[in-house]
A and B are shown apart, each in its own frame.
Chain A
Amino acid sequence: MPTKTLAGTPVDTDDEGYLVNHSQWNKDVAAALAAEEGITLTDGHWKVLDFIDTDFKERSVVPGMRRLNKVGNIPTKDLYALFPDGPIKKAARISGYPKPVSCV
């Protein structure tokens, strides 16, 4: 399991760079993960990350686009503008949660 240092914090990740231990996550780590994706976090990004955080704590799964839209009030268009190319995967990684799996 790879270990690296982000924003001065040592974190454990899986092979695709998703944190395996959410307790190692904080806002600075999020900013560093975002920077790896070429993203500078703004309030708009944080609205998404905060919703994912609350929702994951409640349901133990990363919410999909429809849930972010309907429950989190985040238009899908905005989501793509904030996190281009695969917004859910990127937002999940930056918020320190596992890669979302869609069901078989």
Chain B
Amino acid sequence: MKTLLILGAGTAGTIMASTLRNKLPKGEWTITLVDRAPDHYYQPGYLFMPFGIYTENDVRRPMTRTVPRGIDYREADVDRIDAAANRVLLPDGTEVPYDVLIIATGVHPAPEQVEGMVNGDWRKNVHEFYTFEGAKALTERLKSWQGGRLVVHICEMPIKCPVAPLEFTFLADAWLQEKGLREKTEIVYVTPMSGAFTKPVASGILTRLLDEKRISVVHDFAIARVDAEKKSIVSWDEKEVPYDLLVTVPPNMGAEMIDRSGLGDELNYVPTDKHTLQCKAHANIFVIGDATDCPTSKAGSVAHFESEVLTENILHFIAGQPLRSRFDGHANCFIESGHGKAFLLDFNYDQEPVTGTFPLPALGPMRLLAESRLNHLGKMAFRWVYWNILLPGWPIPLVGHKMSLRGKNIPPKEIKAAA
């Protein structure tokens, strides 16, 4: 028997286990899946918990329900990958040898990376919503909010779901209006980027939206430390932004295990071929989802598109063939904008988000880079799609891993540049 070992049973690891179990003969291949968490979390739902839109049980399911059948599942905190010996070491000393390894251990917020962030004010006036515990604590904090300066902040890029802090800001604005607290609350959005978003067309539209909602933006802010006594965040060039409530997105780091294994870069992301998803250092290791250093969004939609490419490439690899399937960086993100509306972005390594219709030209029914109720319904339906279509590894109708240019309004300048 041969072993295909998958580390991490989050979005990407679970999808890969589902699809490969259907493709690899049971008599020849064992698929082993390892994760340290007893539960699987629907992370996009963390955004909605603080505003009472989702409850804890909407976003959490026991692994026993999400791990597919026919998989050898182990709950363990992986200690180290010993790539030279094709084996993985678990904390109790168990060795798991592999023929092919898939790394899908994602990224996690690392607030201890910022001086003074994890101090006496942590989870009191300094919060995050990128973990289950964080979203829960913030839910409680918002219940006693009476007004003041709400600062929504990104420490450094890249972060997973890079639009989530903007969405949080828009949802907070709407929620405060409902509670009659908007006039008593000043909302400030602080980002290390030069604008609301990195890509020009989307950034322009989102900046206008922030403006309309009377949210002030501090850009090019690279945080050096949190000064809990003064209740302010301080940048490397000594700019200060005071807060009453800070909702920050800490640096997003890959698993420490990657660092211990000597496989990561300065953020513990694994250097990965951005088209084939093969680990650059070892031919029989593949990397998927947030764990890679691929220059596209770290998002569940990306993990899903990558899984189609990776499934094909692993079959090629096992058959001793060249890795023919290529990932184009396709990402598809909803941006919740408050009051039951949302935007939709669709882009890849080469094409920035533009306006248009999705997934069909003219017919849509969803509109790209424009606010609509249907986009919001799409976002809310995604939770059902996640549990019932994505994790079991079913394809999503009409939306493939290769981004389509159909229905997109591409500025003439770019068409020329691409030609």
Enumerate chain A interface residues (CB-CB to B < 8 A). Answer: 61, 64-67, 69-71, 76-77, 79-80, 84-86, 101-104
Q: Is the CB of A103 within 8 A of B297?
A: yes
Known: A80-B237, A102-B157, A102-B193. A67 touches B162 (CB 8 A): no
Tell me if B224 and A103 are in contact (CB < 8 A).
no
Beyond A85-B220, A101-B198, A103-B297: 19 further Cβ-contacts under 8 Å?
Answer: A65-B222, A66-B251, A66-B267, A69-B266, A71-B266, A76-B222, A76-B236, A80-B237, A86-B220, A101-B295, A102-B157, A102-B158, A102-B193, A103-B157, A104-B162, A104-B197, A104-B198, A104-B199, A104-B353
B347 interface contact, C-beta 8 A: yes
A-facing residues in B135-170 (Cβ within 8 Å): 156-158, 162
Chain A residues contacting B222 (CB-CB under 8 Å) are: 65, 76
26 interchain pairs (CB within 8 A)?
A64-B157, A66-B266, A66-B267, A67-B265, A70-B266, A76-B224, A77-B236, A80-B237, A84-B237, A86-B220, A101-B295, A102-B157, A102-B158, A102-B192, A102-B198, A103-B158, A103-B198, A103-B295, A103-B296, A103-B297, A104-B162, A104-B296, A104-B297, A104-B331, A104-B352, A104-B353
Contacts across chains A and B counted by CB atoms under 8 Å = 50
Q: Give A70 to B331 CA distance when docked, in angstroms.
A: 30
The 8 closest A-B pairs by CB, nearest first: A102-B157, A70-B266, A103-B158, A80-B236, A67-B266, A66-B266, A104-B198, A104-B297
**Least Cβ distance of A80 to chain B in Å?**
5
Chain B binding surface SS class = loop
Query: Distance in Å from the Cβ of A93 to the closest Cβ of chain B?
Result: 14
Shortest beta-carbon distance from B413 to chain A in Å: 12
A102→B219 CA distance, assembly (Å): 14
CB distance from A29 to the nearest CB of B (A): 25
Minimum Cβ distance to chain B for residue A17 (Å): 15
Give Cα A71–Cα B264 distance, bound, in whole angstroms.
12
- Nearest Cβ on chain A to B163's Cβ, whole angstroms: 8
Chain B residue nearest to A71 in the complex (CB): B266
B331 (CB) vs chain A CBs: closest residue: A104
CB proximity of B347 to chain A, nearest CB, Å: 7
A100 CB to nearest B CB, Å:
10
Interface bracket on B:
20 to 34
Q: Give B24-83 interface residues, CB cut-off 8 Å to A.
A: none
Is B162 within 8 A of A103, CB to CB? Answer: yes
Beta-carbon nearest neighbor of A61 in chain B: B295
Which residues of B have CB within 8 Å of A103?
A: 157-158, 162, 198, 295-297
User: Is B347 a contact of A104 with CB atoms below 8 Å?
Assistant: yes
Residues of B within 8 A of A65 (CB): 156, 222
For the complex, what is the distance from the CA of A76 to the CA of B28, rounded to whole Å?
A: 52
Residues of B within 8 A of A77 (CB): 224, 236
Instruction: Say how far B148's CB is from chain A's closest CB, in angstroms.
Output: 30
| Alpha-carbon gap, A29 to B52, bound state (A) | 57
CB distance from A37 to the nearest CB of B (A): 15
Question: Chain B residues with Cβ under 8 A from A85's Cβ?
Answer: 220, 237
B192, B236, B331, most chain A CB atoms within 10 A: B236
- Determine the distance from Cα of A104 to Cα of B296 in the docked complex, in whole angstroms: 6
Q: Which residues of A contact B297 (CB under 8 A)?
A: 103-104
Of listed B192, B197, B265, B297, residue having the most chain A CB within 10 A: B265
Shortest distance in angstroms between A62's beta carbon and chain B's nearest beta carbon?
A: 12
**0/1 per residue, B286-325, Cβ < 8 Å to A?**
0000000001110000000000000000000000000000
Task: Give the complex CA separation of A10 and B220 in angstroms.
Answer: 32
CB distance from A20 to the nearest CB of B (A): 13
Residue of A nearest to B265 (CB): A67
